[in-house]
């Protein structure tokens, strides 16, 4: 089952396109990371998948084909916004009661037990909690709805390192114990690399790269060789990015498989996930390639060193 499916999905605000022609397929059971700069369209995509925003083009479905925003989709989708939305004047117990009344499904016993485990008193007002505790409260409210898809919008932005670790520990436990699929965004690529196994790269409202992390890495390599020959190599390879120094050039290329030959006089190296993502973020973009990775064909960027 696919937990997320979009086809030609787009959202415009007047003449400004926040997201264009987004076509994605994310299998269930994955921790999918949504990566991109501010204004790339990440929050717009998550909002449409959560049923909070109506698309102006295309379609979005979750949980095996349920239209995003439908009753079935809403019942199975949990969403935690960036600012950990809680009513600061209400106690934690009141927040549980309110959320239970607003949803058709809510595991009150689970929510109480989880807050007790975290040392968060039910009688304490949400506004008096620390940032990390507020984030945990918001996450508890989402998980108590027993979702099959959990969407997290920059959940780690305001948290200290220990709170980040605790928060992500809870998310990974929900995946392991309850089979929850996760879509989250963050600017901390190192943290995402530790927890995510599926990556979606957005820039300028377009999908630049998407797929299983291992497949994306296996489909690229870094070539190192004479800078004077970089142009010749570029004419013969599927190039993502060229970095030139005085004597050497480093060329990031897409490959069809591990047996693809290396140009004479050049060396091939594995590419790291962060390096790959940053290269696609810098690339201007282009039409989508067919295939499971949904990788794009950007014009190669040249970076002088």
Give percent of the chain with pLDDT exceeding 70: 92
Is residue 159 over pLDDT 90? no
Q: Is the dihedral of CA 269, 274, 280, 282 positive or negative?
A: negative
**pTM of the predicted protein model:** 0.87
Whether 225 contacts 236, CB under 8 Å: no
The pLDDT mean for the chain works out to 88
Q: In degrees rounded to 5, what are phi and psi of residue 83?
A: -90, 20
> Is the model's pLDDT at 290 over the cut of 60?
no
What residues contact 117, with CB distance under 8 A and at least 6 apart? none
Place of tokens 């027993």: 146
Report the 3 state secondary structure along 199-221: EEEEECCEEEEEEEHHHHHHCEE
Write down the pLDDT at residue 214: 95
d(CA 158, CA 134): 11
Q: What is the pLDDT of residue 187?
A: 82
Largest CA distance in the chain: 70
Rounded to whole angstroms, how far apart are CA atoms 138 and 5? 26
Q: For the chain, what percent of residues have pLDDT higher than 90?
A: 63
Span of 45-49, 62-66, 224-228 with lowest mean pLDDT: 224-228
Q: Are the CB atoms for 59 and 132 separated by under 8 Å?
A: no
Query: What is the model's pLDDT at position 286?
Result: 46
Cα-based angle 301, 57, 82 (whole degrees, multiple of 5): 70
3-state secondary structure of 181: strand
Whether the CB-CB separation of 103 and 177 falls below 8 Å is answered with no
Q: For residue 301, name the pLDDT band (cuts at 50, 70, 90).
A: low
- pLDDT of 13-47, one tens digit each? 999 999 999 999 999 999 999 999 988 999 999 99
Task: Give 203 or 288, the one with higher predicted confidence.
Answer: 203
Domains and CATH numbers, the chain: 2-213 (3.40.50.300), 219-304 (no CATH)
Token pair in block for residue 68: 């995003």
Report d(CA 221, CA 284) in Å as an integer: 20
Q: How many CB atoms lie within 10 A of CB 186?
A: 22
Q: In what order do the strands lie in the sheet with 57-62?
A: 16-27, 2-13, 57-62, 66-67
Question: Residue 299 — very low, low, confident or very high, per pLDDT cuts 50/70/90?
Answer: very low
CA 166 to CA 136: how far, in whole Å?
9
Contacts of 116 (CB under 8 A, 6+ apart): none
- pLDDT, residue 114, reads 92
At 300 the pLDDT is 52
């Amino acid at each position: 089952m696919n937990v997320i499916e979009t086809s030609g999905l787009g959202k415009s605000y007047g003449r400004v396109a926040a997201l264009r022609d987004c076509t994605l397929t994310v299998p269930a059971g994955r921790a999918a990371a949504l990566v991109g700069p501010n204004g790339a369209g990440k929050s717009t995509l998550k909002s449409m998948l959560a049923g909070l925003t109506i698309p102006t083009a295309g379609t979005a479905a979750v949980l095996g084909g349920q239209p995003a925003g439908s009753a079935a989709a809403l019942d199975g989708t949990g969403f935690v916004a960036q600012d950990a939305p809680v009513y600061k004047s209400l106690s934690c117990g009141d927040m549980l009661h309110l959320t239970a009344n607003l949803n058709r499904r809510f595991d009150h016993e689970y929510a109480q037990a989880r807050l007790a485990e975290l040392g968060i008193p039910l009688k304490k007002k949400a506004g008096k909690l620390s940032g990390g505790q507020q984030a945990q409260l918001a996450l508890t409210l989402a998980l108590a709805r027993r979702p099959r898809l959990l969407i997290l919008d920059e959940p780690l932005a305001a948290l200290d390192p220990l709170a980040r670790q605790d928060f992500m520990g809870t998310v990974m436990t929900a995946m392991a114990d309850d089979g929850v699929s996760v879509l989250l965004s963050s600017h901390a690529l190192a943290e995402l690399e530790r927890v995510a196994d599926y990556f979606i790269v957005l820039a300028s409202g377009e999908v630049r790269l998407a797929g299983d992390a291992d497949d994306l890495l296996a489909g690229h390599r870094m070539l190192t060789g004479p800078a004077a020959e970089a142009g010749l190599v570029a004419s013969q390879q599927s190039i993502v990015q060229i970095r030139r120094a005085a004597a050497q050039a480093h060329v990031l290329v897409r490959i069809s498989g591990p047996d693809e030959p290396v140009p004479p006089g050049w060396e091939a190296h594995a590419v790291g996930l962060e390096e790959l993502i940053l290269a696609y973020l810098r690339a201007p973009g282009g039409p989508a390639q067919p295939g499971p990775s949904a990788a794009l064909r950007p014009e190669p960027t040249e970076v002088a060193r």
